[in-house]
Structures are given as structure tokens and as C-alpha cells.
């Protein structure tokens, strides 16, 4: 019998390219029909057939408090009653700016936008305007949204579909984007030695979460900081994913390295569309209307979205919030690893705060090449076994997973029972 998911997907494909509004949702990499969700509550999602799933996607990161958190919903409802958008300054967006600059070490000034892509795109333009240089440096497998100059050897959906560099990006644009292997300190040094004076900026995910989860090796971020400072290039930490996900001060606080600019998104919108970029005052003051670098947005700082973000940021500042989140996530990783090893399946896992990576490899990858070398076939079979058992993981081997504050013992228990059976099935199949 055709399921409601299949019917909806079939209809969607006639009207929406690939049936989805963002490629990685299409299940192309894992196969099968994407799940259509109709409701979320806490750590759980319900599909159109009323099946429920423990959710480890969390809308790709924003849902750090879980779905439909009562304080966030109340803040959104109250804000909506007062008007949906004014296209003018509000006290609420000032409150958001005070909150972000107060918490993140690298932020002296900040501007709100509506998505992570807008944040990175704007930060790149600002870095170019500030330095008067054109070249930008990014790392293979890092994903910074879908702006032209950043869709070069990108991660996330682009990597999932084997097309890390998109059609439609003019070669002249891509020529200004230089890509280096993540964690390759020698390559960074060589590039700066050769052309440090031409580099406007280096943009990096300080913890790479768009080619699964890859941690920076000791010295990598420090080298970026040191070489950018020495050559007058702007160091941009893309913390769209890691901001308020790995801790209250972001990856920059965790590693004690201050970027010149930071990009944010996901958690700061609490599930509604908010992005931000900010950093050193001297650089931010180059933005219009004060400076010559133009950047704008009709819905930037939208009052309803900012209300959702503020309610979320208020909650994550509670003492012990990130300790509890990190502990839950680490226990999940430990449980999965032990279950895999009980069944003789080559598997490893790691987490930072509420963000995790699971790998069908003996140890966590440290580079794009190692991430691509993990056993994708096994991941896909594991993904479907977990989905059938009511656990929703990211439908791609190249995406990090997310735990929320709503995940507790019941959810971990459900997940680990499902994993025990999934790993047993993997062993039998091999």
C-alpha cells in the first residue's frame, strides 16, 4: 500500500524541484522516501502517518530546547500579537545585540540578517571591503551556505550529492576562492607565504559540522589566527552551527581564539529565520550606512523571529545548561559506540556540547578525505534501521547530529535499544 509520505512526496516532486525546499532533505544519499513531519514536541517528531521519532536533526541545529518549547512558543505568540514586521529598529533587536556581544568574545558589534547564508555572504563582502582584497580562503568540505563564492568544494548537501562545487557559479567568481584541506597547517603556511598580501579573509568552521563532525587539530585554528593577523587578513569563524550549540561562548570561547568576524544563525533564531554577523568594531563600522560596504534586508531583525531567539538564548544561559547537554550527548555517543563494538561493527563517535558525529570508521575523521572514506553503505543501512525503529538521524553521512535539552533518559533508552538491533543487523549482513 502507498504510504501518505509517498503520496505527499510524489505530489511534491511535481511542483517543487526534487520534492524538497533544500536538497539534503530529499533522502537521495540514503535512499527511500523523505519523512513528512507534521508536529514536534520536545525531543520527538510525528510524521504524517502519526509515527513518532526521537529527533537528532533538530531542524539541522536550531532546536536546542527541543520542539515547541513553551517559553519560545509564548514569546513568539506575544510578539506576533504586537505586529509581525516593522522594517524599522526595535528595542528587541537591541536586546539581541546586547546579548550576543555580551556572550561571544569576538563580537564588539553585530548586525542581524535572516539566514546563515546571508551572514556568511555579508561577512565575506565586508572582509573584502575592509581589506580592499579579493581572494578568500575556505576549507574543503566546510559549508558556509549557498552564496556563489562559498559553493566551492563545499560540504553538507553539496558534498552529499557529490557536487561540492555548484554549476551556476561563474569561473571568475570561483577563481577568487582558494580552498585548502581542513586541518592542514602546512598548506595554510604555504599559501600565506606565497600570497598572504592578497588574501582578504579566511573563513572556517571552527568545528566542521558539514562533513559530519570534524574537530580542529591542535594548532590549526591558532595558525589561522596568527597568519591572518600577520598578513592583515580577516579571520572569520563561521559559528552558524557551533554558536550556542557547543557552549555559551561558541567554539571561539571553547578554544580561546578570537576571530575578527563571526557568523551566526540556527540557535539564535530558536527555530525561526535569524542570522547574524559581527566582530571587531573597526571592521563592522565599514558597513552602510556608516561605511561603504552595502548590506541590507527587509526582514532583518524581524521582531517575531528575534523574540524566539531571545527566549532560547535566555534559557541556554541557565547555570549548568551546557554541562547537562554535553553529558547527555556524550552518554549517547558512549552507548552507541559500546553497542557497535559488542556487535563487532567498526564505528566511532564524538561530541562537543550538543553536537555529535557518528562514523563507520575505526576513529573519527580529521579531514575531508577521511570523512569521505567512512563506510557510507553501512551508514545508510544503519540510518534506515534506526528510522524504522523511530529514531530520526540526519539523512546523510556528512552531517553532524544534534541533541536538545529535551532529550532525556527515555529518549536515550529508546535510541540505544534501536541501535542494538541495528548494529546486530549490520553484523549479520556482513
- Residues noted as catalytic: 143, 238, 266
To ligand LHPZP3FS, the closest distance from the beta carbon of 430 in angstroms equals: 29
Q: Mark residues 112-131: x for contact with ligand LHPZP3FS by CB under 6 A, - for none.
A: --------------------
Nearer to ligand LHPZP3FS, 156 or 263 (CB): 156
Q: What three-state secondary structure class fits 214?
A: strand
210 lies in the site for ligand LHPZP3FS, by CB under 6 A: yes
Nearer to ligand LHPZP3FS, 22 or 281 (CB): 22
Omega before residue 74 within 30° of 0, cis = no
Neighbours of 410 (CB within 10 A): 12
Q: Are 276 and 104 in contact (CB under 8 A)?
A: no
Residue-wise over 9-36: b if at least 16 C-beta within 10 A, else e?
A: beebeeeeeebbeebbbbbbbbeebbbb
Using Cβ positions, the residue closest to ligand LHPZP3FS within the complex turns out to be 22
263 lies in the site for ligand LHPZP3FS, by CB under 6 A: no
Please select the residue that binds ligand LHPZP3FS; options are 5, 149, 156, 351, rule is CB under 6 A. Answer: 156
Torsion of CA 329, 334, 336, 340, to 10 degrees: 160
Nearer to ligand LHPZP3FS, 157 or 364 (CB): 157
To ligand LHPZP3FS, the closest distance from the beta carbon of 45 in angstroms equals: 16
To ligand LHPZP3FS, the closest distance from the beta carbon of 371 in angstroms equals: 13
Please select the residue that binds ligand LHPZP3FS; options are 34, 157, 259, 279, rule is CB under 6 A. Answer: 157
For 320, residues 6+ apart whose C-beta sits below 8 A from its C-beta are: none
Nearer to ligand LHPZP3FS, 399 or 411 (CB): 399
The whole-angstrom separation of Cα 219 and Cα 183 is: 9
60 lies in the site for ligand LHPZP3FS, by CB under 6 A: yes
395 lies in the site for ligand LHPZP3FS, by CB under 6 A: no
The whole-angstrom separation of Cα 164 and Cα 154 is: 5
160 lies in the site for ligand LHPZP3FS, by CB under 6 A: no
The whole-angstrom separation of Cα 239 and Cα 259 is: 11
Nearer to ligand LHPZP3FS, 22 or 165 (CB): 22
Site for ligand LHPZP3FS in 22-51 (CB under 6 A): 22, 24
DSSP 122: H
184 lies in the site for ligand LHPZP3FS, by CB under 6 A: no
Closest CA to 266 of 64, 20, 26: 64
Q: What three-state secondary structure class fits 37?
A: strand
Neighbours of 418 (CB within 10 A): 20
241 lies in the site for ligand LHPZP3FS, by CB under 6 A: yes
Amino acid at each position: 500500500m502507498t504510504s501518505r509520505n509517498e503520496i505527499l512526496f510524489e505530489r511534491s516532486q511535481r511542483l517543487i524541484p526534487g520534492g524538497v525546499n533544500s536538497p539534503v532533505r530529499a533522502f537521495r544519499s540514503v535512499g527511500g522516501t523523505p519523512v513528512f513531519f507534521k508536529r514536534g514536541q520536545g525531543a520527538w517528531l510525528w510524521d504524517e502517518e502519526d509515527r513518532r521519532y526521537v529527533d537528532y536533526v533538530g531542524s539541522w541545529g536550531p532546536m536546542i530546547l527541543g520542539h515547541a518549547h513553551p517559553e519560545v512558543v509564548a514569546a513568539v505568540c506575544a510578539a506576533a500579537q504586537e505586529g509581525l514586521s516593522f522594517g524599522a529598529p526595535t528595542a528587541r533587536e537591541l536586546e539581541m545585540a546586547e546579548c550576543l556581544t555580551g556572550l561571544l568574545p569576538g563580537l564588539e558589534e553585530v548586525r542581524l540578517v535572516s539566514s546563515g547564508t546571508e551572514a556568511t555572504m555579508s561577512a565575506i563582502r565586508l572582509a573584502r571591503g575592509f581589506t580592499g582584497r579579493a581572494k578568500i580562503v575556505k576549507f574543503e568540505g566546510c559549508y558556509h551556505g549557498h552564496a556563489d563564492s562559498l559553493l566551492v568544494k563545499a560540504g553538507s548537501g553539496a558534498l552529499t550529492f557529490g557536487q561540492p562545487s555548484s554549476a551556476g557559479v561563474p569561473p571568475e567568481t570561483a577563481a577568487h576562492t582558494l580552498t585548502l584541506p581542513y586541518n592542514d597547517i602546512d598548506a595554510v603556511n604555504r599559501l600565506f607565504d606565497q600570497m598572504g598580501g592578497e588574501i582578504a579573509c579566511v573563513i572556517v568552521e571552527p568545528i566542521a559540522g558539514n562533513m559530519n563532525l570534524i574537530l580542529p587539530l591542535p594548532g590549526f585554528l591558532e595558525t589561522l589566527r596568527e597568519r591572518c593577523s600577520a598578513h592583515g587578513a580577516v579571520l572569520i569563524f563561521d559559528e552558524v552551527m557551533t554558536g550556542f550549540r557547543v557552549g555559551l561562548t561558541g567554539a571561539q570561547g571553547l578554544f580561546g581564539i578570537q576571530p575578527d568576524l563571526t557568523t551566526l544563525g540556527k540557535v539564535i533564531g530558536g527555530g525561526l529565520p535569524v542570522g547574524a554577523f559581527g566582530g571587531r568594531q573597526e571592521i563592522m563600522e565599514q558597513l552602510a550606512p556608516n561605511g561603504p560596504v552595502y548590506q541590507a534586508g527587509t526582514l532583518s531583525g524581524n521582531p517575531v523571529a528575534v523574540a524566539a531567539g531571545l527566549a532560547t538564548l535566555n534559557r541556554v544561559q541557565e547555570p549548568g545548561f551546557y554541562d547537562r547537554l554535553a553529558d547527555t550527548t556524550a552518554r549517547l555517543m558512549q552507548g552507541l559506540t559500546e553497542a557497535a563494538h559488542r556487535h563487532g561493527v567498526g564505528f566511532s563517535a564524538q561530541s562537543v556540547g550538543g553536537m555529535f558525529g557518528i562514523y563507520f570508521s575505526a576513529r573519527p575523521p580529521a579531514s575531508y578525505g577521511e570523512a569521505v572514506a567512512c563506510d557510507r553503505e553501512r551508514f545508510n543501512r544503519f540510518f534506515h534501521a534506526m528510522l524504522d525503529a523511530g529514531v530520526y538521524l540526519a539523512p546523510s553521512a556528512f552531517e553532524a547530529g544534534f541533541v536538545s535539552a529535551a532529550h532525556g533518559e527515555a529518549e536515550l533508552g529508546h535510541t540505544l535499544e534501536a541501535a542494538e538491533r541495528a548494529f546486530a543487523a549490520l553484523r549479520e549482513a556482513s
